[in-house]
Amino acid sequence: MARPRQQESKQLLDAATQLFWRQGYAATGTREIETALGLKSPAIYHRFGSKHDLFIASLKHYIATVIDWRIKHYLEAEDALKGLQDFFTSIPLSASKYHQPPSCLLVNTTLERAAENPDINTCLHEGTLKVLLGLRNNLKRLQVEKILSPNADIEATADNLQLQLFGLLVSSRLPHEHHALLAKATHITTTLDIKPKNGAQI
């Protein structure tokens, strides 16, 4: 069982992560951080350090709670093909169902150019690499299961899927694109040289 302080720290990081995810790093002020966390600045900075340090902690928290969960829940699912499909289609579906902030904290941070900071860039690299490796491992499983063509270039295919993922996430930031997101997400895996176990083309 987690200790009370550990539980409290997780709750505070949940709140900070949601705030930065919605507003970005530069647009988030001290008063908004105080309101979101329910603490005054001295208490926040005593625990987490500066705003920059809190943002780094939030990025790491996002990777550990959102990125890692999505990789495990989808890309490492028992049914590798369905998991890969759901990995993409869950983006517009989850955003609509749970009213999540648009896109992804990693993508938003990159677009904001906060990634130019070395510490932030290191976190972004860690998160995007995890996604890339998750895609590669999923594709390897599909190849072993003879669903993906044995001639498929795993690394190149994973790179392409990651690029399409980022494109989908950027599109999710644009309100006029929301109606088409599910169709775009569904289309991503149909371009792969794969055949479901029942022999029917997807």
Q: Summarize the confidence of residues 99-106 as an average pLDDT.
A: 82
State the CB neighbour count (10 A cutoff) for residue 155: 11
Determine the pLDDT at residue 52: 94
Indicate if the pLDDT at residue 175 is higher than 80. Answer: no
Determine the pLDDT at residue 101: 76
Q: Which parts of 50-117 fold into alpha helices (H)?
A: 51-62, 68-70, 80-98, 105-111
Give the range among 10-14, 192-196, 197-201 with minimum mean pLDDT. 197-201
pLDDT digits (tens, 9 = 90+) for 50-101: 999 999 999 999 999 999 999 999 999 999 999 999 999 998 887 666 566 7
Indicate if the pLDDT at residue 169 is higher than 80. Answer: yes
pLDDT digits (tens, 9 = 90+) for 14-44: 999 999 999 999 999 999 999 999 999 999 9
Q: Which amino acid is at 8?
A: E
Residue 1: pLDDT band (50, 70, 90) is very low
Task: Indicate the SS3 state at residue 194.
Answer: strand
The number of residues in the chain equals: 202
Indicate if the pLDDT at residue 4 is higher than 60. Answer: no
Q: In terms of C-beta distances under 8 Å and separation of at least 24 residues, what long-range contacts does 5-11 make, across chains too?
A: 9/47, 10/61
83 contacts 138 by C-beta, under 8 angstroms:
yes
Indicate if the pLDDT at residue 200 is higher than 80. Answer: no
User: Residue 133 is inside which H or E element, if any?
Assistant: helix 118-144
Q: Summarize the confidence of residues 2-17 as an average pLDDT.
A: 79
CATH 3.10.129.10 is held by the domain 55-190: no
Cα 15 to its chain centre, rounded Å, is 17
Give the range among 4-13, 53-62, 147-156 with minimum mean pLDDT. 4-13
Determine the pLDDT at residue 202: 45
Residues in CB range of 182: below 8 A, 6 or more apart: 89, 92, 93
Residue 174: pLDDT band (50, 70, 90) is confident
Percent pLDDT > 90 in the chain is: 73
Determine the pLDDT at residue 102: 77
CA distances from 5 to 1, 18, 61 (A): 12, 20, 16
Residue 114: pLDDT band (50, 70, 90) is low
